[in-house]
Amino acid sequence: MKNIILFGKPGAGKGTQAEFLKDTFQLIHISTGDVFRYNIKNETSLGLLAKGYMDKGDLVPDEVTIQMLEGEVVKHSEAAGFIFDGFPRTRSQAEALDAFLAKNDMKIAATLALEVAEDILVDRLLQRGKESGRADDQDEEKIRNRFAEYNKKTAPLIDYYSTQGKFHSIQGEGSIASIAEQLTTIVEQL
């Protein structure tokens, strides 16, 4: 089973590359944002709980997020593996994910980080904001705040996964095909 975590700042191309990896290796793509939206839209008990926190402007506790992700993994127990996109974001989430996977005789095989210069990401996101209408992609200050949040909370996971020999940095600038080729090389060796 190939369980992969896909890292990268907003705009790094995680969604595009997750689709490629999903199709190439028959993996299930679990996007935390999609899982949240599904649970909230369908008013599941976890979705209502998460919405309550979000409506107050609070972060959804790790336990709620992990329970949602556990539900997705259990739903697809026969999968060849999973791509976790947008999770974990902190060391405590990484430890919780590892504990859950170990309980189910699974583990993370690799962490793939798409590295792109912030100025390029700002340009990508501003363009995406024009095309999609997403408010969070139309304000450079908000975009840079998201990068700062990523650097503060998620970047420390590099050490966590590096000590396990599972961290791989991929140059996320260039053509979609060349980035996909780099990812394929790594995943094929897992």
85 - beta bridge partners?
6, 31
Contact yes or no for 91/24 (Cβ under 8 A): no
pLDDT at residue 138 tops 80 = yes
Across residues 136-163, what is the average pLDDT? Answer: 87
What pLDDT score was predicted for residue 161? 96
Query: At 136, is the pLDDT very low, low, confident or very high (cuts 50, 70, 90)?
Result: confident
Residue with tokens 């792109």: 116
| Distance, CA of 38 to CA of 44 (rounded, Å) | 9
Predicted TM-score of the model (pTM): 0.85
Give the domain extent around 171: 4-188
pLDDT at residue 28 tops 90 = yes
Q: Which residues are catalytic?
A: 14, 89, 128, 134, 146
Q: How many CB atoms lie within 10 A of CB 4?
A: 25
What pLDDT score was predicted for residue 53? 83
169 - beta bridge partners?
113
Residue 36's domain is classified under what CATH number? Answer: 3.40.50.300
When divided into structural domains, the chain yields a total of: 1
pLDDT at residue 135 tops 80 = no
